[in-house]
Amino acid sequence: MAQLFFKYGAMNSGKSIEVIKVAHNYEEQNKNVLLFTPAIADRDGAGWVSSRVGLKRKAIPIEPDTDLFQIVSEWLFRLSCVLVDEVQFLTKEQVLQMARIVDDLNIPVMGFGLKNDFQNHLFEGSKYMLLYADKIEEMKTICWFCEKKAIMALRVDQSNEPVREGEQIQIGGNDQYYPVCRKHHQHPLL
């Protein structure tokens, strides 16, 4: 029975490398998978799932008006799994389309992404994944400043000072974000 999975974690918890690994494992067994990633997640260019350890994989870019259900239902080959990286950037409608792929097409869908932003607010896609996913799993990593589990993202500016206000979405890596525990989100050791 197919299910909708939400695998979330702080930055640097290995989400994107897990997407690439899962795709590889399916394909090694001659099973077809589709990979998606929001076009806005363009750290290495639109349509790429890329890990900080250097692995990357081509994916179908998702625009705000992309209908995931339509793409998957028109796929010519039998699919064993659908993988979506950076699911936090999806709309409510796209999360519902993912659920429909599971329910109507009986294809498992795994969504990977952040749960909360740098102000500790839920992203739209993450909010609806938390509401609709059959299985929710946290991918863990440690705080940049201590040994506790990182559960938040600390955004910093070019001077490495904490940023507390601004647009929710700003694509960046270790030069702009640190995975942190609650304590160091409020009182970073910069």
- Residues tagged active-site: 86
Q: How far apart are CA 123 and CA 32, in angstroms?
A: 29
> Is-contact 86 93, C-beta < 8 A?
no
**41 DSSP assignment:** -
Q: How many other CB atoms sit within 10 Å of the CB of residue 11?
A: 22
- Residue 142: closest CA among 5, 14, 3: 14
**166 DSSP assignment:** S
Residue 129 amino acid letter: M
Six-digit token pair at 37?
Answer: 């990633």
Q: How far apart are CA 117 and CA 123, in angstroms?
A: 7
Burial class (CB in 10 A: 0-12, 13-18, 19+), 69: middle
